[in-house]
Each structure stands twice: as C-alpha cells, then as structure tokens.
C-alpha cells in the first residue's frame, strides 16, 4: 500500500508530469512512487521512512548536502527583507555580492560580468545569445554557428536543445535553431583512433584536429562559439583530456571563436576546484553554471562572461544593451542561498574533499569491480564518477539490453542507494554524491554498487560471485 492519500494518488495518476519520465508508470491508482520527504547530509528519506544514500546529489545539485540551515536562514532573511526585485530594473544586494563573488572565482577573470538566470538551460541560452550578439557587434553578423560535441547534454530550451548532442532528446521538436554543428567526443575508453585506452595525448589531439577540420570546412567566419563540458555527464563522467581543451582554446583564439565551458555540473567543487576548466588550466570566454550554485536550495544559474566580451554591451547608449531577460533570473532569495552555499563550500574546503573522496571512491570501486566481466571502466574526476558496463570486458562489447537501466536503478535503490543507471551513450552507473559524504557512506555506496553489479552479472549469466555489504551504520532499506 502506498502511504499517499487517495486524492494524492489520484493527482499523481492524472495531474503530475515529471520530466523525462513516462508518467504511464505512475498512472495506475495502485502505483507506489518513492516520495522523498526529508534529507540530511548525504541521506534522504521517503514518506514510508525508508532511508537512502543519495548517490546523485538530487541531480548533481546538492553539493553542500541536505539540511543546511545556514542556507535556509539566509533565504528566509532575504525573503523577509524583500521577496522580489526585478532584474529588468534594479540590482538587489545579494545579486551585487554574488556577481562579485562569481567573478572572483571564475576562470573568466575578475572583471567578468555575471548574467543570472534560473537554471542551466537558460544559462546556456543566455551564453549562446551573448556569443552571437557579441560577434555581430564586432562586425561578424555571419558568425551564427555553434560547435558542440556529439552526445553532450546542454539543456532543453530551444537554443540549448539545438546544440544538444543527444539525438533522442533533440529529435522530435524541429525545426531547431539553425547553426548547430557537432564533433566527435574524445572518449578514451572507446577511442575512435586507437580503439580504446589512449596511452598519451596523441588521440586527444587528433580529436582536436577534428574540431579544426570542421572549423575550416564551415569557414571560421561563420562560427560564433564552441560549447563543451570539461567533464561530460552524458555517457558517464567522460573527462575531456586537458590537451584537447587547451588545443580547442588555441583554435578559438586563432579563429575569433568564443569558448563556452558548460559547468552546470562541473562547477562548485564537483570535479575538485571551483570550475572544471580551471582545473584543466584553460580560461574560457563564458562559463555557464547552475545546479550546485545554490546546492539545489533555490533555482539559479549564471552565464559568467569575460569582461572584454561583456564590454560590447555596456555603454551610455541604450541600443547597446543585451536584449535578453528572465523575470526570475537572479531572484534575491536564490542569490542569498548561493552566497551562503559558496561560503559553506569554501569554509569546509568541499572542493578539496571532492578530490580526495573521489579518488578514494574510484580506487575502492576498482578494487571491488576492477575485474568484473561486465565492468569496462571506472572513471571520473572528483566526486563525478561513472562505472561503464559492458557485455564483455575483454572485447568491450556493448551491453544493449532493453530496460536494463530501469532494472539496475531499481536494484540500487532496493539496496539503499539512489543514483542513475543511464544509457544515453553506453550503459553506465553515474555516481555524484554530496561533497559532504563520509568515509563510511562512501564505503557503503561502493558496496551497494558492487552488489548491484554482481546481481547484474548473475542476471546476464556472467558472474556468480556474491559480495557481502559492510555492516555500516544502519540504513533502513525498502523491503522489496
Ligand atoms: C551540462 C549541462 N548543461 C545544461 C543543463 C541544463 O540545466 P537545467 O536542467 O538546469 O536547465 C544540464 C542539466 O543537467 C547540464 O548537465
């Protein structure tokens, strides 16, 4: 029996519309959804009292962990003072402070200007518009194309969707915004050039040469920007080789193209430092961020723009301004949440913690699963990790089973871990716990992943081994 009331059950069946979710699975009155009602640190509880480790930080979002009263108190104080300030007309105090803080942290330099949005898609949307408008102002009205990478996810609004490299998400909504072009993704495990493994930077530079070839083919005078993630989520924590990123930066400089680093997931300690591009020694022209900017306590995103680019929109002439805006962009309570959140990340050195815990978890995952026949690779950067699943470890043959990811997600959840089994590219288990995860929770997380992968092996008939879960702090796991 579900603990929802009959009218809540009815509303779920008829009125609720989750995102990227087949609501048909919840539309019978007997459906038993997991309704999360409480969180503390890295753990969440559902309405029936079952406890889970949150192995995905909500959706790569709750970096500072759940139950942070510093953040909720800052939001309440701001809402009590003034609930709303129009970003079309007035700066709010938290907006001023947050813009200064982001400019100080971002790899776009201290004179960056910060365009605040409500989330990631509209941060990407703003970045693309700024890039195109900037090129036009420099006298390059023909520069309207944007290069992105195949299989990358950059959001769902029409501009962001158009540069999206996930075909199944992009298709079905055409006509899309014209001008998006896609290059192959440097994907070390399944490298197109060496077959996989890439001993050094040779393949990375060959992938960068693909970008160069596309620029030449299209004509540099038609290209406004290149957008990419330092560590790409879609496909499972695929780390961009720094040599590739540096070469792409050089190509952008040589051809007057803007480099947009989409750090909607990578930002705010997820991969170690404040931003992924910084960690790789590259300075982009625009950084897009959202999610952990507030650790999920409020919706907020930003396009952080290098000062020399933003200057093109700043003058005494009204006609020079950027013709773009969002009613809730930079909402004062969201900015207050972000400031309190950034203070926590800084004071508790959670970026550094992400680095050390990420290294530890990757090591432990390799120790537990390194020779499992269905595990191709454990990879990632900081607490942004993935386990790629294969049919055969030796041949790297893909595991292309219908509905396997749903089954695997359920296996993980039954064992007390919420995380994502995803097969937008190859099947992967994605892991990105809150940066406050304890050593015991990390061990528990690894043990559950290992146990679920062994269950997968048994299902596929490849691995009969059982793994005992460590008897850590009790996690009240759903019975079935
Ligand atoms: C890299 C990247 N860019 C953009 C987005 C879109 O962000 P939002 O869902 O907040 O619109 C996402 C969302 O997951 C993302 O991962």
Structural domains of the chain sorted by starting position, each given as residue range(s) with its CATH number in brackets? 1-33 (no CATH), 40-64+350-460 (3.90.1150.10), 69-347 (3.40.640.10)
Q: Whose CA is nearest to atom 3 of ligand 1?
A: 154
How would residue 478 be classed by pLDDT, with cut points 50, 70 and 90?
Answer: very low
Alpha helices (H) along 236-349 = 242-255, 276-279, 307-310, 332-347
Strands 223-228 and 145-149: parallel
Q: Is the CB–ligand 1 distance for residue 262 below 6 Å?
A: yes
How would residue 476 be classed by pLDDT, with cut points 50, 70 and 90?
Answer: very low
How would residue 480 be classed by pLDDT, with cut points 50, 70 and 90?
Answer: very low
Q: Is the CB–ligand 1 distance for residue 264 below 6 Å?
A: yes
Q: Is the CB–ligand 1 distance for residue 266 below 6 Å?
A: no
The Cα–Cα gap between 359 and 271 comes to 11
On the 0-12 / 13-18 / 19+ scale of CB atoms within 10 A, 414 is: middle
Mean local confidence (pLDDT), 417-431 = 93
Q: Are 66 and 41 in contact (CB under 8 A)?
A: yes
The Cα–Cα gap between 95 and 108 comes to 18
Q: Is the CB–ligand 1 distance for residue 437 below 6 Å?
A: no
User: Could you tell me which of 38, 37, 39, 35 has the C-alpha nearest to residue 66?
Assistant: 39
Q: How many CB atoms lie within 10 A of CB 35?
A: 13
Q: Is the CB–ligand 1 distance for residue 124 below 6 Å?
A: yes
Ligand 1, residue 59: give the atom nearest the CA: 14
Q: Are 64 and 436 in contact (CB under 8 A)?
A: yes
Pocket test residue of 166, 238, 287, 290 for ligand 1, highest count of atoms within 8 A of CB? 290
Q: Is the CB–ligand 1 distance for residue 290 below 6 Å?
A: yes
The Cα–Cα gap between 189 and 226 comes to 24
Q: Is the pLDDT of residue 69 over 90?
A: yes
The radius of gyration computed from the CA coordinates of the chain, to the nearest angstrom, equals 23
pLDDT at 370: 86
How would residue 471 be classed by pLDDT, with cut points 50, 70 and 90?
Answer: low
CA 21 / ligand 1 centre spacing (Å): 16
pLDDT at 466: 55
Q: Whose CA is nearest to atom 13 of ligand 1?
A: 155
Q: What residues contact 296, with CB distance under 8 A and at least 6 apart?
A: 57, 58, 59, 61, 62
Q: Is the CB–ligand 1 distance for residue 229 below 6 Å?
A: yes
One-character DSSP codes across 31-83: -----EEEEEBTEEEETT--EEEETTHHHHT-TT-B--HHHHHHHHHHHHH-S
CA 124 / ligand 1 centre spacing (Å): 8
Q: Whose CA is nearest to atom 9 of ligand 1?
A: 120
Q: Is the pLDDT of residue 253 over 80?
A: yes
Q: Are 134 and 258 in contact (CB under 8 A)?
A: yes
Residue with tokens 């009969």: 464
Q: Is the CB–ligand 1 distance for residue 119 below 6 Å?
A: yes
- CA dist 108 → 41, 145, 279, 287, 409 (Å): 32, 22, 13, 7, 38
CA 206 / ligand 1 centre spacing (Å): 28
Q: Is the CB–ligand 1 distance for residue 375 below 6 Å?
A: no
pLDDT at 329: 98
Mean local confidence (pLDDT), 345-357 = 98
CA 126 / ligand 1 centre spacing (Å): 13
How would residue 479 be classed by pLDDT, with cut points 50, 70 and 90?
Answer: very low
CA 264 / ligand 1 centre spacing (Å): 6
């Amino acid at each position: 029996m579900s603990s929802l009331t009959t009218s809540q059950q009815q509303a779920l069946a008829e009125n609720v519309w989750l995102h990227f979710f087949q609501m048909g699975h919840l539309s019978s009155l007997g459906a038993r959804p997991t309704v999360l009602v409480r969180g503390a640190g890295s753990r969440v509880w559902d309405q029936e009292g079952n406890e889970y480790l949150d192995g995905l930080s909500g959706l790569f979002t709750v970096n500072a962990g759940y139950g942070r009263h510093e953040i909720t108190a800052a939001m309440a104080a701001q809402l009590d003072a003034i609930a709303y300030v129009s970003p079309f007309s007035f700066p709010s105090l938290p907006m001023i402070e947050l813009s200064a803080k982001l400019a100080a942290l971002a790899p776009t330099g201290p004179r960056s200007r910060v365009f605040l949005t409500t989330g990631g898609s509209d941060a990407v949307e703003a970045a693309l518009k700024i890039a195109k408008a900037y090129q036009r102002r420099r006298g390059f009205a023909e520069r309207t194309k944007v290069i992105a990478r195949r299989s990358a996810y950059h959001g769902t609004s029409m501009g962001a969707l158009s540069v999206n490299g996930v075909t199944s998400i992009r298709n079905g909504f055409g006509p899309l915004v014209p001008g998006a072009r896609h290059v192959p993704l440097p994907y070390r495990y399944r490298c197109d050039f060496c077959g996989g493994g890439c001993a050094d930077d040779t393949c990375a530079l060959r992938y960068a040469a693909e970008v160069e070839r596309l620029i030449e083919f299209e004509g540099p005078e038609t290209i406004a920007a290149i957008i990419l993630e330092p560590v790409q989520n879609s496909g499972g924590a695929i780390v961009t080789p720094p040599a590739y990123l540096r070469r792409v930066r050089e190509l952008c400089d040589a051809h007057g193209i803007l480099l947009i680093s989409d750090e909607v997931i990578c930002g705010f300690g997820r991969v170690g430092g404040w931003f992924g591009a910084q960690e790789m020694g590259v300075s982009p022209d625009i950084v897009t961020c959202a999610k952990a900017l507030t650790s999920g306590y409020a919706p907020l995103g930003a396009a952080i723009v290098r000062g020399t680019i933003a200057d093109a929109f700043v003058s005494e002439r009204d006609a020079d301004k950027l013709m773009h805006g969002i009613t809730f962009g930079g909402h004062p309570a969201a900015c207050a949440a972000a400031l309190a959140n950034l203070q926590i990340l800084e004071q508790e050195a959670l970026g550094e913690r992400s680095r050390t815990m990420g290294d530890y978890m990757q090591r432990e995952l390799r120790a537990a699963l390194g020779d499992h026949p269905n595990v191709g690779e454990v990879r990632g950067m900081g607490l942004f990790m993935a386990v790629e699943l294969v049919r055969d470890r030796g041949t790297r043959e893909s595991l292309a089973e219908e509905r396997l990811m749903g089954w695997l997600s359920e296996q993980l959840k039954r064992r007390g871990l919420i995380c994502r089994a995803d097969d937008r590219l190859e099947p992967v288990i994605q892991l990105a716990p809150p940066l406050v995860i304890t050593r015991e929770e990390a061990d528990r997380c690894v043990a559950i992943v290992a146990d679920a992968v062994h269950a997968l092996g048994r299902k596929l008939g490849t691995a009969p081994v059982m793994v005992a879960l460590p008897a850590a702090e009790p996690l009240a796991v759903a019975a079935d």
